[in-house]
Structure 1
Amino acid sequence: MFDMASLDVDAVKAFVAIADLQSFTRAAEALGTTQGAISVKLKRLEDRLGHRLIERTPRLVRLSARGAVFLDAARDFLAAHERALAGLASSRRRFALGIAAHVMGPEVPTLLARLHAHDPALTIEVRLDSSRVLLDAFDRGELDATIIRRDDDRRDGEVLGPEHFGWFATPGFEHRQGEPLRLAALAPACGVRDIATRALDAAGIPWTEVFLGGGSSAVMAAVSAGLAVSVFSCRVVPPGTVDVGERFRLPELPSSEIVLHSTLSDAKSRDALRTLAAAFREHRASAG
């Protein structure tokens, strides 16, 4: 029987990251190290336990039977380690995170839960708004980090992945050629609204806003009710809607990128941020 207290924390972290992400490359990214270093740490843990924990082929990374048995104990070991460290801290650390409304998808609560599990001493405050508003708040120092659609005027930030847009409406939505397109959009400060209106103007398609403001959930409700068309990320669309761009001969929309801006500098916060970025990329890849 092995002694959990004598295990190397970094080696156990490497094993859990590989198990969660099913990839040595993504595990290395999440932990801020190299794939070679991850492999060395895993081998050290397997040698210590006397069992192979991960089965690896050119196409597949998965838990071995022994690895599946060990995984829950490994999580408990890391959680106890983090609680011990958190108990030594004089105060909880605050992490103010902004997430653009058009970026916010169903996976975000899971990502935040993983971030909290990674660092229980971190108090996470989340703000949802348009990319432009969040970027201004970040520049004023009100946010420690923000995940937004790339602003046309800025090329900084860490790219988390591409973002593609489409024209979405209910299958029964009617629009007659030559009549103004009924458009639902967020407030005028919303960059996605700008993408839509610029594309329509360039194509010479008349449009009118029949619903403006009220937040992304209200815009989704208006589109789902069949009142209008709106532009959404192809990853986050209202239930029961379809892409009607081709059907109504609407212009193609330019793609953008999702970027992460951050001012966090201490090692613990940067480590937590790497975990968030790696998890975000993982969920986007699985959704695609």
Structure 2
Amino acid sequence: MMDQPLDLDAVRAFLRIAELESFTRAAEAMRTTQAAVSLKLKLLEDRLGCRLFERTPRYVQLSPRGAAFLDHARDLLEAHDRALASLNEGRRRIAIGISDHVAGPELPALIARMNAQDPQLVIEIRIGSSGDLLQSFDRRELDTVIVRLHAGRNDGQLLTEEQFGWFAAPSWQHRADEPLPIATMAEPCGVRALAGQLLDAADVPWTEIFVGGGVAAVAAAVMAGLGVAALSPRMVPFGAVDVGPRLGLPALPRLPVILHTRVKDGRPREALAGLAAAFRSAVRG
């Protein structure tokens, strides 16, 4: 019956599926099963009397009726959250550290998703090296860190893995009689250390040509034609090429993205779960 109220959990599931374009990733973000998410959506579709998604084994996308419902669903949940927040004196806060080798160009959209999950949550983001962020986490200066490497510990949650390559500008050419010029992050940086170890093990002469305080600076040096950098494809500007196979450089491994957190429950945990699922989606492409 149309006079029955909407189930807010079902509306939340609808929004998660729409944002992540996947039932599986929506389930991960909501810390539940795909079957539970599917059931919530079915109940919502039955309640509204229409299909909200067109889905095949290969894709999930909004139906015309689903697209029309999307903004109204967001407004409904935001109004609900504001009503609850009005009863609380303080605002929730979460401090998150994200490795420079993880925080790619998708970060603004990911933060927006996190805010949509909990509009009353004050989000503090710090970008830095994995090692520095883990030290801040251990000192309880950060509630959560998303870092690139294990850093010799096994207390984190694996979010995903991402392939790295040796990237250079399309016009860059290496002179065979000179050491390989490397653009890299400043110490401490786990990717910097790994790249140097692999080159040394393969007996590839190399030299630092540029040291940047962030991945954006390293990528800029690459596109300026200074040399080669070990980066993930997400982090390099359009047009950069992986010259590793052409130069016979050692293959870089798939590097993990690890989540460490003390946030266990409540709305901040839900927002964090949404951020983690969005990172998985961004890396998988």
**Kept in 1: contact 2:105–2:234 (CA 8 A):** no
Say if 2:58 is the partner of 1:62.
no
Q: Give the gaps of 5 or more residues in structure 1.
A: none
TM-score normalised by structure 1 residue count: 0.91
Task: Give the corresponding residue for 2:200.
Answer: 201
Shift of 1:189: 0.8
**Kept in 1: contact 2:215–2:235 (CA 8 A):** no
Task: Give the corresponding residue for 1:52.
Answer: 51
Say if 2:124 is the partner of 1:125.
yes
**Kept in 2: contact 1:178–1:205 (CA 8 A):** no
Letter of the 2:146 partner, please give it: I
**Kept in 1: contact 2:13–2:41 (CA 8 A):** yes
Say if 2:202 is the partner of 1:241.
no
Task: Give the corresponding residue for 2:265.
Answer: 266
**Kept in 2: contact 1:166–1:232 (CA 8 A):** yes
Structure 2 matches for 1:273-288, cutoff 5 A?
273-285=272-284, 287=285
**Kept in 1: contact 2:148–2:255 (CA 8 A):** yes
Distance 1:227 1:61, change over 3 A: closer
Say if 2:80 is the partner of 1:81.
yes
In the alignment, the residues of structure 2 paired with residue 244 and residue 228 of structure 1 have an alpha-carbon distance, to the nearest angstrom, of 10
**Kept in 1: contact 2:93–2:123 (CA 8 A):** yes
In the alignment, the residues of structure 2 paired with residue 211 and residue 63 of structure 1 have an alpha-carbon distance, to the nearest angstrom, of 46
Shift of 1:178: 4.2
Structure 1 SS opposite 2:234: coil
Q: Give the gaps of 5 or more residues in structure 2.
A: none
Task: Give the corresponding residue for 2:168.
Answer: 169
Task: Give the corresponding residue for 2:222.
Answer: 223
Structure 2 SS opposite 1:280: helix
Percent sequence identity over aligned pairs: 58
Distance 1:141 1:54, change over 3 A: same
Letter of the 1:128 partner, please give it: I
After TM superposition, the structure 1 stretch with the greater mean CA deviation from structure 2, 43-52 or 111-120, is 43-52
Structure 1 SS opposite 2:171: coil
**Kept in 1: contact 2:54–2:62 (CA 8 A):** yes
Distance 1:91 1:254, change over 3 A: same
In the alignment, the residues of structure 2 paired with residue 96 and residue 218 of structure 1 have an alpha-carbon distance, to the nearest angstrom, of 25
Distance 1:44 1:276, change over 3 A: same
**Kept in 1: contact 2:174–2:180 (CA 8 A):** yes
Task: Give the corresponding residue for 2:93.
Answer: 94
**Kept in 2: contact 1:223–1:238 (CA 8 A):** no
Give the superposed CA RMSD: 2.0
In the alignment, the residues of structure 2 paired with residue 239 and residue 62 of structure 1 have an alpha-carbon distance, to the nearest angstrom, of 27
Deviations 1:77-105 (A, max 9, x none): 11111111121221111111111111121
Deviations 1:10-34 (A, max 9, x none): 1211222223333222222221222
After TM superposition, the structure 1 stretch with the greater mean CA deviation from structure 2, 99-108 or 244-253, is 244-253
Shift of 1:230: 1.4
Deviations 1:243-274 (A, max 9, x none): 11122222212222111111112321111111
Distance 1:61 1:186, change over 3 A: closer
**Kept in 2: contact 1:116–1:122 (CA 8 A):** yes
In the alignment, the residues of structure 1 paired with residue 244 and residue 216 of structure 2 have an alpha-carbon distance, to the nearest angstrom, of 22
